[in-house]
Structure 1
Amino acid sequence: MALTASSETQARLLDLQKLDTALHQLAHRSRTLPECAAVTALQEDAERIKAAVVETSGHLEDARLELGRAESDVELVEKRIARDAERLQSSSSVKDIQGLEHELASLRTRLGDLEEIELAIMERIELLERAATGARETLEAHTARRTVAEEALAAALAEIDRERADLDAQRSALVAELPADLVALYEKQRERYGTGASHLRARVSSASGVTLTGSDLEMVRRASPDEVILCPDSNAILVRTAESGL
């Protein structure tokens, strides 16, 4: 048995379709918000900036360890110089004195080399500290921008949620007023084909944008006004009104 509903009731399906179209557009908006793209870009940049912070911090730590080893070497040589100098002062053996003086000369040369190495490391540490500070400041500034962008995204999504809640409420109220079997057919066609109701206006189906052929128009004309029929092109429920041009 063919499904029937008054012309006025069928026309209300167009309002339902408008609500569903608006809900679909909201879903698309939520996925394509410029705020979303901005946050995604900042998230990708964050990984690169964090990696730079880790890398510069690692180089700085390595340099500090290297400086610690150099300082230990300097301290060791200084102790040996002090020990040999003390022995030199108390020695009376010409041979021992010559040996100590030779060793002291070698140690002082070694100390000079180590102090140059130590100075070079300290200069490198100074550069690395500036680089590490710059990397951290860059990360902090980026984090602040990311926070602002995430807040903007949250606000945009909250606005979409409010709009969606309003549309959902309107939709629920409308569905409650329509015959269950008519709504079931509408939902079935919308699920399968993307559109549940199509307005026939000036012989053109709004869902497909196609003008009905002569044979299709004849089929529509033969159908009683309360018979629920489907659009031959879009398979949505074809809603006929005074604008249909029949």
Structure 2
Amino acid sequence: MNAEAADQLRLLDLQALDSKLDQLAHRRRTLPKLAELQTLDIRLGQLRDVHAVSAAADSDLVREQTKAEADVDQVRARAERDRNLLESGRGSAKDLENLQHELESLAKRQAALEDVVLEVMEKVESSAKRTAKLAADRSGVESERGRVAHELAGEQSGLDKDSVFTQGQRDLTAAKIPADLLALYEKLRAQYNGVAAAPIVRRRCQACQIELDISEANAAKAAAPDVILRHDSCRRILVRTADSGL
């Protein structure tokens, strides 16, 4: 394939723009705040799960406290009824004696149940504090995530603007290159990590950084200006410039 020297030089401009686009895309994929945001999302997910479990435990403990208090109220009511019966003096001596024994048992039962209430109340208070702390931690992480997401969006927007501008320049440059030469360039770019054309600088290929041997250098020097050169080592298109040293 042959192409005018000016078109070959445009390949270098196109390669520079494509390399810049690749760099911008890589920078966008590897922005530090992306990893920071991912870490915060993981932490936030963990806090949400733990907070939900803690809140559910709060509800269970409140129900347990309500039941324990209802048990105490029930025993108190039974004791009050027995006390009223005992004070009324109605019934046989045996019945009154049984009421007295029952009141003693109910007093013990009430004391035990009140201990249970106090124990559950302590658990409720402790669990509520834990849940409040988790809620505060979650709120803090959510706030931090919002800040990081906002800063990330700003960085991405800046890179996107650079990419759109560079893509516009790229399209204009590509439009000036002959179709067959452009097709070869695109094919090689796909094959060789996005680098299809490189200048020869002081007899060295700038794509693979391997110096041309004597036969390659002589062949490049002797070739007509419109001949498309390919490097034997890396197979990229070699473009001759004023700095080639040939």
TM-score, shorter chain, exceeding 0.5: yes
Tell me the amino acid that sits aligned with residue 243 of structure 1. D
Whether the 8 Å CA contact 1:81–1:107 is kept in 2: the answer is yes
Q: How far apart are the structure 2 equivalents of 1:21 and 1:192?
A: 15
Match in the other structure for 1:198: 198
Tell me the amino acid that sits aligned with residue 225 of structure 1. P
1:181 and 2:180 correspond: yes
Residue by residue over 1:165-218, the C-alpha shift from the partner in whole angstroms, topping out at 9 and shown as x without a partner, is 001000000011111111111111111112111101110000010001122223
Q: How far apart are the structure 2 equivalents of 1:223 and 1:82?
A: 117
Q: CA deviation at 1:107?
A: 0.2
Tell me the amino acid that sits aligned with residue 242 of structure 2. A
Match in the other structure for 1:85: 83
Tell me the amino acid that sits aligned with residue 14 of structure 2. L
1:70 and 2:68 correspond: yes
Match in the other structure for 1:223: 223
1:99 and 2:114 correspond: no
Give the CA RMSD over aligned residues: 1.1
Tell me the amino acid that sits aligned with residue 22 of structure 2. H
Q: CA deviation at 1:92?
A: 4.0
Which range is displaced more, 47-56 or 182-191? Answer: 47-56
Extract unaligned runs of 5+ from structure 1.
none
Q: How far apart are the structure 2 equivalents of 1:193 and 1:161?
A: 25
1:114 and 2:81 correspond: no
TM-score (normalised: structure 2): 0.96
Whether the 8 Å CA contact 1:57–1:132 is kept in 2: the answer is yes
Identity of aligned residues (%): 35
Q: CA deviation at 1:89?
A: 2.2
Match in the other structure for 1:26: 24
Match in the other structure for 2:142: 143
1:170 and 2:176 correspond: no
Q: How far apart are the structure 1 equivalents of 2:91 and 2:210?
A: 119
Tell me the amino acid that sits aligned with residue 206 of structure 2. S
Which range is displaced more, 227-236 or 215-224? Answer: 215-224
Q: How far apart are the structure 2 equivalents of 1:123 and 1:154?
A: 46
Q: After TM superposition, what 4+ stretches of structure 1 lie above 6 angstroms from structure 2? A: none
Q: CA deviation at 1:72?
A: 1.6
1:198 partner SS: strand
1:199 partner SS: strand
Q: How far apart are the structure 2 equivalents of 1:25 and 1:241?
A: 25
Tell me the amino acid that sits aligned with residue 242 of structure 1. A
Which range is displaced more, 8-17 or 167-176? Answer: 8-17
Match in the other structure for 1:4: 2
Tell me the amino acid that sits aligned with residue 115 of structure 1. E
Residue by residue over 1:83-107, the C-alpha shift from the partner in whole angstroms, topping out at 9 and shown as x without a partner, is 1112212324111111000000000
Structural mapping, 1:31-46, within 5 Å: 31-46=29-44
TM-score (normalised: structure 1): 0.96
Extract unaligned runs of 5+ from structure 2.
none
Q: CA deviation at 1:137?
A: 1.1
Q: How far apart are the structure 1 equivalents of 2:233 and 2:244?
A: 16
Q: How far apart are the structure 2 equivalents of 1:184 and 1:102?
A: 105
2:39 partner SS: helix
Q: How far apart are the structure 2 equivalents of 1:225 and 1:154?
A: 48
Whether the 8 Å CA contact 1:7–1:241 is kept in 2: the answer is no
Match in the other structure for 1:50: 48
Q: How far apart are the structure 1 equivalents of 2:38 and 2:151?
A: 13
